[in-house]
Amino acid sequence: MKNLKSKIESLLFISNQPLALKKLADLTKTETKEVSEAIKELSVEYDQRQGGVIFQRIGDKVQLASSPDNAKLVKDYIKEETTGELSRASLETLTIIAYRGPITKAELEQIRGVNCSVILRNLLIRGLVESKASSAKMQNTYNITFDFLKFLGLSHQSDLPDYEKLNSHESIQKVLGSTGGQNQE
């Protein structure tokens, strides 16, 4: 059970959204009942610890969240993070999404060569990108939002400067081709 709890905790830590018990069972290759028991134990452990992270559960979905005791601190941090200027890494990520979207996190990370979880979360919070489940790619894809286009004064994604050239750039196609990724919904 300890190993299962460890796996669940890691998956919830890296996920930017709640995960269903069934999804956790599939990912950990265990039964949903075992996952449910492990989550109950983890929840008790987190409650007893009274730390800055808690388990949240609604129906069959769970996620890790910050403690309500730290709500103001977290709110102030997120406000600062979402109202300040975008970092160079955020701008780079946003540019890739704008020209290559819809794009999966794996494809984005293949192009950038680094983990993009935190940057994606920040761009999602700012409303510059959106996440959508893709049945064709069996994972979420990211694309720019209408607010992003509105901010730039554009009507269509294809109105971005040099869109055709950068959307199908040969070297990016090679990088994505070598990993089996393709830019299609």
Instruction: Give the other-Cβ count within 10 Å of 151's Cβ.
Output: 12
Q: What is the CATH number of domain 2-70?
A: 1.10.10.10
Helices (H), 50-87: 71-83
Predicted confidence (pLDDT) per residue in 126-138, tens digit: 889 999 887 776 7
* 15: exposed, middle or buried (Cβ count in 10 Å: 0-12, 13-18, 19+): middle
What's the maximum distance between 2 C-alpha atoms anywhere in the chain? Answer: 56
Asked if domains 2-70 and 85-178 share a fold, the reply is yes
Question: Domain residue spans in the chain?
Answer: 2-70, 85-178
Instruction: Give me the numbers of helices (H) and strands (E) for the chain, helices first please.
Output: 10, 6
**What pLDDT, in 10s, does the model give residues 65-123?**
888 899 899 888 877 766 778 889 999 999 999 998 889 998 899 988 898 888 998 89
Architecture of domain 85-178: Orthogonal Bundle (1.10)
